[in-house]
Structure formats: C-alpha cells, structure tokens
Chains A and B, each alone.
Chain A
Amino acid sequence: EPEVTQTPSHQVTQMGQEVILRCVPISNHLYFYWYRQILGQKVEFLVSFYNNEISEKSEIFDDQFSVERPDGSNFTLKIRSTKLEDSAMYFCASRQNSGANVLTFGAGSRLTVL
C-alpha cells in the first residue's frame, strides 16, 4: 500500500538552530499538509500546500516556518530558529484530488529542542 515517508524519524537540536524535516508524499497525491502534535496534546494543523504554493496556514505557522517542494517528490518543513516549544512530533500528510479526500499521514518526525 502506498505510504507517506518522513525523515528523520527523530532529530535533536539546540535552541536557535535551523531544522529541515523531509516528507515524500504518495506519488499521485496533489495536496500536502504539515501537522504537529506536542506530547500529550492534540494534532494541530500547520499548513496546507497545493499547486506549488501555500493554500492555508494556521496561527502557529509564523515567520519561523516555511515549506517547500524543491522537486517532484519531496515536501519539506523548515523551522528557521528553533525554540523549546517547537519540540513535538511533526506529521506530513497528503491526499488525492478526488474521492473521499482522506488524508494519509506519515509516521512522523520527532523533534526535540534542547
């Protein structure tokens, strides 16, 4: 079954450092998303991406965050200068342009900011 793949599975970084989280969405999917989940809390929407541009973003997605689709397969989330409160699991998701509009999630990248 097709799946969304994410790397790294776990990253530890120092406060103030830049982090790039990578995702390979399912190949025929056209809509891409990033979500985060702070430990013990709910899954929160960060940003959606379609047709090579951001379609919607939440209040969490401030100027420290950016997304990019540098080639035909990768979808990245960059955090420019990490803060302690950025520690969370970051999930990438993608979906098709038709049918049930079901989002398929990757296994996540756990970010720990020290």
Chain B
Amino acid sequence: GQNIDQPTEMTATEGAIVQINCTYQTSGFNGLFWYQQHAGEAPTFLSYNVLDGLEEKGRFSSFLSRSKGYSYLLLKELQMKDSASYLCALARGGYNKLIFGAGTRLAVHP
C-alpha cells in the first residue's frame, strides 16, 4: 500500500517563494511526480524525481529524499496564476500508474 501526505491549504504573496511538502510511505517506488490542477481542469505535469536531489525547471523545482520518504515542490516568483492545487503523486507498479495525494490548495495574494 501507500500513504501520501501533503498540507491541505497554503497561502503566499505574489513575488514570493513557497515550498509545498509531501511525505509518503510506499512499498514500491518508480518516481515522485508533481502536477498542477486548476479548479475544474485536468492535472498538468510540473516536475518529477526518480533519484535523490533537486530538479529545476524554470520557476519550479522539486526535491526528493527517498530514504526519508520526502519531497517538496518549490515555486519561485509567485504569480497570481499559480493559485491552484498541487498534487504529489507516486509512480508504482510495472505500468507506472500514478497514485495521487489529496493535493495542496495554494492561494496567491497580491
């Protein structure tokens, strides 16, 4: 089985940096993915980690520590359009299905 925990809600200010944490327990692991989901829309891929360390993609970075069962998504230079839910997901199994956490709803204020 697996268990994925992330904060339910966060708020941040436009232009600031925010870190969204995700902790997990799993019996199998093929990678840790981060998706963004605006209300009523599909999840869209942001970043993923298979090995420990930091992956940087423009304003978004993701970090993974497999020994600690911990990941975070870092968003820099926040914009109003970054207000959305951020979903932490584990890839498991031979067909790499994604198992999603409940998501963190981020509200960016001016």
Contacts and interface: CB of A to CB of B under 8 A. Distances in A.
B95 to A, nearest CB: 5
Residues of A in contact with B, size category:
20 to 34
A55 B94 contact: yes
Given A31-B96, A91-B43, A106-B42, A42 B48 contact: no
A101 B93 contact: no
B43 A43 contact: yes
Residues of B in contact with A, size category:
20 to 34
A8 to B, nearest CB: 15
A34 to B, nearest CB: 11
B95 A44 contact: no
Contact of B102 (A42, A105, A108): A42
A44 B40 CA distance: 15
Nearest to B50: A100
A33 interface: yes
Interface string B30-47: 110100010011111100
Contacts of A105: 42-44
Interface of A: 31, 33, 41-45, 48, 50, 55-56, 89, 91, 95, 100-108
6 contacts: A42-B103, A45-B99, A100-B48, A101-B31, A101-B91, A105-B42
